[in-house]
Amino acid sequence: MGGVLRASDDDFRVDEIPSYEPCGEGEHTYLRFEKRDMTTPYAITQIARALKIQARDIGYAGMKDRHAVTTQTVSLPRVDPERVSAMVIPGMRVLSVTRHRNKLRTGHLKGNRFELRVRELPDGVEASLARARSIAEVVGRAGVPNYFGEQRFGRDGDNAAKAREWLSGENSGPRDPHQRRFMVSALQSQLFNAWLGARVRDGLLDAYVEGDLAARGATGRPWLITAEDAALLYPTGEASPTGPMFGRSMDRPTGAAEAREEAVLAEASLDRAFFDRIGALAEGTRRLARVLVEDLSVTAEGDALLFRFTLPSGAYATVVMREFGVSSASATPTVETGSADEHPTMQPELASTGADQAKYR
């Protein structure tokens, strides 16, 4: 289909869907706000400065892009709601202020609702709309590979490489503990993308591999699925295979599924002992191989196509849009965004997603 995403910040809107609503009482003040042209860490810094509190005391559920119009919620400890409502920060708009009992933490998030405009359609609006709706029918039914997007790999896309250098003793690594965990997470994510890319290339995204650990939804506990159960649950999306976020506490598959994970480590010249040595920095977990895209619709809007859909927490809208052959016009990297084309570590992800376009023809 083609086209350009994010020609302006207004073309990329994200609304956070909370796991719960504030109850109206308690020592924490929940601020829901809209921001433009700023990362979540920068927004938190500005809020802390305006209210004269410590940024580390502010809770949030997830990160949001800089080059977008996004809404999200943060929690503020022991701050008068009236002070929060009166706060004025350029590029930010207060939407609601409500008290709650607990601090908001990473993961207190059901998902995100996206509204994206794609412009510069090479085949015009009418032909592109027909093509997009054909692809959307497949995506809505089968889901998409649950790759980590470029945002995961840092501003210059090299956090995974830096993590390897640091953990191999080639440099001292960052001092900040949050940055250390972020870098290790980038390495885990790169290995997951490599595992997923191999599975997609082999036609196994929603096919059973002996020894698979499957899960029902992003928060479901993985279990050793049988071939018979996979034949029933994989095609409907009720369950999906899971892949490795390597670490000492990660559940391990068996048989052929385990061999595929060992092959990813061997290709990267790593082993499980490497992650055992770094301990708490990489506890490890499982991640779904595919993500289901809910409420997906495509409509024409002037000279653009408007995409609306909802994703669970941890899934990436840019990964969904690659299924439509859409590229991002955002050329300036930020803390949360980087260009995959400029960084070889991301190429397996792009190659396998692009190859998957054949199923829409």
d(CA 236, CA 222) in angstroms, rounded, equals 17
Q: How far apart are CA 138 and CA 320, in angstroms?
A: 12
Alpha-carbon gap, residue 275 to 247, rounded angstroms = 5
CA 310 to chain CA centroid, nearest Å: 12
DSSP three-state, residue 196: helix
Place of tokens 């792009």: 350
Of 9, 11, 65, 158, the catalytic one is 65
Quick check: 302 and 98 in contact, CB under 8 A?
A: no
Q: Is 65 a catalytic residue?
A: yes
- Asked whether 110 and 313 are in contact (CB, 8 A), the reply is yes
CB atoms within 10 A of CB 296: 20
Nearest to 358 by CA among 200, 161, 208, 237: 200
Distances (CA, A) of 217 to 53, 222, 244, 315: 37, 10, 16, 12
> What burial class does residue 295 get, using C-beta atoms within 10 Å of its C-beta: 0-12 exposed, 13-18 middle, 19+ buried?
exposed
Contact 67, 91 (CB under 8 A): no
DSSP track, 225-264: --HHHHHHHTTTTSSEEEEEE-STT-----HHHHHHHHHH
SS3 207: coil
Residue type, 238: E
Q: How many residues does the chain have?
A: 361
Closest by CA position to 195, among listed 275, 260, 276, 291: 260
How far is the C-alpha of 167 from the C-alpha of 59, rounded, in Å? 29
Q: Give the residue carrying structure tokens 């993308």.
A: 193
- Residues carrying an active site annotation: 65
